[in-house]
Amino acid sequence: MRNMTLEKIAQALGGRLYGAEGSDLSDREVQGVVIDNRQVEKDYLFIPIRGARVDGHSFIGDAFAKGVLGVLSDHVLEDAAGPYIVVKDTEQALKDLAAYYREQIDAYVIGIIGSVGKTSTKEMVASVLGQHFSVLKTQGNFNNEIGLPLTLFCIRPSHQVAVVEMGISDFGEMDRLGVMARPDMVIMTNIGQCHLENLKTRDGILKAKTEVFAHMPASGRVILNGDDDKLQQADTLGMEKHFFGLQGQEFFGSAIAGHVDHVDALLHTPQWEHAVSIPIPGEHNVYNALAATAAGTLLGLSEQEILAGIEQVETIAGRNHFIEAHGMTVIDDCYNANPVSMRASLEVLGHAAGRKVAILGDMGELGENQEMLHYQVGQVVVENGIDLLLTAGKLAGQIVRYVQEHGDKTQAIAYADKEALLADLDQHIKKGDTILIKASHFMNFTEIVKVITE
């Protein structure tokens, strides 16, 4: 890792290096940075974090045994088995070191920001740009103040582009993420109804997410969803901006036909227009394809490269991931949920042949209007002709309440919790069903997916 010697790391963090005297260890570059001792490899740097349950400092000995070049610590160590750097706070040092490393790399960094669709947009952009460049992308949910630096540390000289998610839930977080990532390009998917407990309103969400612009270079480019009323007027601090959307934008498109496992669309750019089959269900994926098209066009990709990247994109577990099991089709979309993504997923289910079953749970962090926002999801259930609705959780029960009041063609049953739902599950589902499973991550609906598919 360029300029990541123990001596330079200590200088960047304002720390003190111990245990490297009389050797060349202080001048050797670390080969990786991790916070999990299970991921330690030879010549890595281990950064122990003090968590609510586990203190990473207790694994320093294990890290040395696995051959780390050095470790960070928030105190002087007794009988350390190798070099270490003492810093005031190791978690803050993780972020400061990521910001330092960002200065050492040449990769073009693209930040994916928004209330809904960050992961699917990230996958689409990475797939498109991967047709032309060597691309690194955020893995899993590494998009917060701990995950983002770990993603940045994975960038190597061979990577030409890094596509990173940047997720927040409060004011000031995007500012801190921006300090680390300093993106050359930002793609903003939308301003939805997420994290309202802290951000209160969509204007608050817009203010929090656009904190990133202060950390972009003057040559930075911003790609915005022009169909989002808040993003239409977003202040990009004078940076070049481009819009995508379903009509009247620089990059626009439309869904030709929706299917349960893909969507056919027509894409338009200032240079060309072309039909494309997007191998991920949901008409909302036309937006993701347009965002990737805009990024690819601005970075010089050909029409053929852009279309190939869109048509080769893959889904990931928990995000509209289709699983065939025991004669049923399961749509695993249980990584997270909010009103906008609930609508999108239910519209996907609405295209299914055979019986349509929705298993839904609570959506978190919606603030004082959380019951009404759940109740309104019931309208989407009815509009999409869902045959059976099962819910778990107190808030999700509001979805059932709407359906029972307005949807005479949908059978709807509310359970107090996931365990009660699972106890009755066998009597509700059968071969031929298409089953959508969706809730916020804290509901742990992956357990329902496993019960049905294993």
- Can you give the CATH number for the domain in which 306 is found? 3.40.1190.10
Instruction: Give the torsion through C-alpha atoms of 87, 212, 302, 139, to 10 deg.
Output: 50
Residue 93 lies in a domain: no
Count CB atoms within 10 A of the CB of residue 104.
14
Pairwise pLDDT comparison (248 vs 156), residue with the higher score: 156
Write down the pLDDT at residue 344: 85
Instruction: Mark whether 343 and 304 lie in a shared domain.
Output: no
Instruction: Kindly report the average pLDDT of the chain as a whole number.
Output: 92
- 120 is known to lie in a ligand binding site: yes
Instruction: Mark whether 207 and 252 lie in a shared domain.
Output: yes
Task: Please give the average per-residue pLDDT across 379-397, as a whole number.
Answer: 95
Residue 94 lies in a domain: no
Residue 379 lies in a domain: yes
Instruction: Mark whether 299 and 393 lie in a shared domain.
Output: no
Question: Among residues 262, 290, 311, which one ends one of the domains?
Answer: 311
Question: Among residues 311, 330, 347, which one ends one of the domains?
Answer: 311
SS3 431: coil
Instruction: Report the CATH number at residue 364.
Output: 3.90.190.20
Run of H or E including 148: helix 147-152
Write down the pLDDT at residue 116: 80
SS3 390: strand
pLDDT band of residue 6 (cuts 50, 70, 90) is: very high
Instruction: Mark whether 82 and 178 lie in a shared domain.
Output: no
Largest CA distance in the chain: 80
Instruction: Report the CATH number at residue 20.
Output: 3.40.1390.10
Write down the pLDDT at residue 61: 93
Residue 376 lies in a domain: yes
Question: Among residues 248, 283, 311, which one ends one of the domains?
Answer: 311
Write down the pLDDT at residue 341: 86
Run of H or E including 325: strand 321-325
Instruction: Mark whether 307 and 325 lie in a shared domain.
Output: no
Residue 97 lies in a domain: no
Task: Please give the average per-residue pLDDT across 97-116, as a whole number.
Answer: 94
pLDDT, one tens digit per residue, over 204-218 is: 999 999 999 999 999
pLDDT band of residue 285 (cuts 50, 70, 90) is: confident
pLDDT band of residue 186 (cuts 50, 70, 90) is: very high
pLDDT band of residue 314 (cuts 50, 70, 90) is: confident
Q: How far apart are CA 11 and CA 112, in angstroms?
A: 31
Q: How far apart are CA 361 and CA 286, in angstroms?
A: 26
Q: Is the distance from CB of 329 to CB of 322 less than 8 angstroms?
A: yes
- 115 is known to lie in a ligand binding site: yes
Count CB atoms within 10 A of the CB of residue 324.
9
Residue 317 has pLDDT above 70, yes or no: no
Q: How many domains does the chain have?
A: 3
Task: Please give the average per-residue pLDDT across 286-313, as a whole number.
Answer: 95
Token pair for 408: 């005479």
Instruction: Mark whether 117 and 168 lie in a shared domain.
Output: yes
Task: Residue 374: name the closest of 423, 443, 322 by CA.
Answer: 443
Residue 98 lies in a domain: no
Instruction: Mark whether 26 and 128 lie in a shared domain.
Output: no
The number of CA neighbours under 13 Å toward the Cβ of 165 is: 22
pLDDT band of residue 383 (cuts 50, 70, 90) is: very high
Instruction: Mark whether 172 and 260 lie in a shared domain.
Output: yes
Residue 347 lies in a domain: yes
Instruction: Evaluate if pTM is beyond 0.85.
Output: no
Residue 400 lies in a domain: yes
- 66 is known to lie in a ligand binding site: no
Token pair for 434: 């298409």
Write down the pLDDT at residue 258: 72
Instruction: Mark whether 157 and 242 lie in a shared domain.
Output: yes
Instruction: Mark whether 269 and 378 lie in a shared domain.
Output: no
Instruction: Mark whether 295 and 346 lie in a shared domain.
Output: no
Instruction: Mark whether 166 and 63 lie in a shared domain.
Output: no
**Locus of tokens 């010089």:** 300
According to DSSP, residue 98 is labeled: H
Write down the pLDDT at residue 24: 79
Write down the pLDDT at residue 318: 52
- 116 is known to lie in a ligand binding site: yes
Q: Which domain holds residue 354?
A: 321-453
